[in-house]
């Protein structure tokens, strides 16, 4: 990620990206100074725990109790997977 060069967290970002924990944005940036969203945090935790949302599984899950989470949201399956995990 070009926008992490010289950033205090550059080494950690590179390490976690190499392990598939962090992936950045579609434009190739990482945006290290931007706060994590709730969805990004859930995806990060799922990856750290070796758990990932599968779109088909999310469709089979009951409707989420999240009024602000439409089924088309980019992290819907991840959030539903984390919500169903025990």
- The per-residue pLDDT for range 16-40, each reduced to its tens digit, is 999 999 999 999 999 999 999 999 9
- The predicted model scores a pTM of 0.78
Closest CA to 15 of 26, 4, 25: 4
CB atoms within 10 A of CB 77: 21
DSSP-derived letter for residue 86 is -
- The per-residue pLDDT for range 58-84, each reduced to its tens digit, is 555 666 578 888 888 999 888 888 887
Q: Which three-class secondary structure state does DSSP give residue 67?
A: coil
DSSP string, 12-62: HHHHHHHTTS----TTS---TTSPPPHHHHHHHHHHHTT----HHHHHHSP
């Amino acid at each position: 990620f070009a926008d992490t060069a010289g950033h205090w967290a550059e080494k950690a970002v590179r390490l976690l990206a190499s392990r598939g924990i962090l992936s950045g944005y579609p434009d190739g940036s990482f945006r290290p100074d931007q706060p994590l969203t709730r969805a990004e945090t859930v995806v990060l935790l799922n990856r750290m725990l070796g758990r990932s949302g599968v779109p088909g599984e999310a469709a089979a899950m009951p409707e989420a109790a999240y009024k602000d989470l439409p089924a088309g949201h980019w992290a819907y399956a991840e959030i539903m997977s984390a919500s169903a995990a025990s």
